[in-house]
């Protein structure tokens, strides 16, 4: 009986980390994401979704990443339309988002580029608000317009530049992301 309970618990934990796909939505744990989103009159397709845990057991957030149907995972940091949606399980302060953003961008760009981006990074840092469980941040890049940040569908601001978009999306999708397994799930390569 104990082995059966352990096996069922292990399967349950695995299912919370792997998205299940329905007709119009993807479910990651208890969070649902649409398979298609519209960005500036363009439909973006779900590239991948996953769950980020910290300290192995604590759910931080579920995420979904979208690209145009014609784009591939290796184009995630190129100047194509894209959206990253993150739904939070834990309360997080805006100042903590700002600090993490600065650190992870610095991990993914060289010093000269970090200096060129500094004013725009600070503009993004000033936009962050505290989140509660169930809140959703969306980061959307529109070529020629810039990177928009929204919280629960409320537009907080837009920051121009392909270089800025590449740097900020690299926090999750770059060579030195927050978590490599989460990155690979978002890109649909794991």
- Return the pLDDT at 41: 87
Residue written as tokens 């208890």? 30
Angle (CA) 48-52-58 rounded to 5° is 155
The whole-number pLDDT of residue 152 equals 98
Q: Which pair of structure tokens corresponds to residue 169?
A: 């999306």
pLDDT at 54: 86
Contact status, residue 101 vs residue 120, Cβ threshold 8 Å:
no
State the pLDDT at residue 87.
Answer: 98
pLDDT in tens, the chain (190 residues): 444 333 333 333 333 344 555 578 889 988 999 999 999 889 999 999 999 998 878 899 999 999 999 999 999 999 999 999 999 999 999 999 999 999 999 999 999 999 999 999 999 999 999 999 999 999 999 999 999 999 999 999 999 999 999 999 999 999 999 999 999 999 999 7
Closest listed residue to residue 88, CA positions, set 21, 30, 140: 30
CATH of the domain at 101: 3.50.70.10
Both tokens of 7, joined, read 């096996």
pLDDT at 105: 96
Domain interval for residue 25:
2-187
Split into its structural domains, the chain has a count of 1
């Amino acid at each position: 009986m104990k082995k059966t309970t352990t096996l069922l618990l292990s399967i349950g934990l695995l299912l919370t980390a792997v998205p299940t796909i329905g007709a119009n939505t993807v479910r990651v744990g208890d969070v649902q994401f649409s398979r298609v989103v519209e960005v500036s009159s363009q439909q973006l397709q779900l590239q991948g979704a996953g769950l980020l845990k910290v300290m192995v057991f604590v759910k931080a957030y579920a995420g979904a990443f979208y690209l145009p149907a014609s784009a591939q995972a290796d184009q995630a940091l190129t100047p194509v339309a894209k959206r990253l949606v993150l739904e939070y399980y834990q309360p997080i302060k805006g100042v903590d988002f700002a600090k993490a953003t600065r650190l992870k961008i610095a991990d993914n760009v060289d010093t000269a580029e970090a200096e060129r981006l500094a004013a725009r990074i600070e503009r993004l840092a000033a936009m962050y608000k505290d989140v509660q469980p169930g809140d959703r941040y969306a980061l959307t890049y529109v070529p020629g317009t810039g990177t928009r940040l929204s919280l629960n569908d409320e537009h907080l601001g837009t920051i121009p530049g392909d270089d800025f978009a590449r740097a900020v999306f690299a926090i999750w999708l770059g060579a030195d992301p927050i978590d490599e397994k989460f990155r690979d799930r978002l890109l649909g390569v794991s």
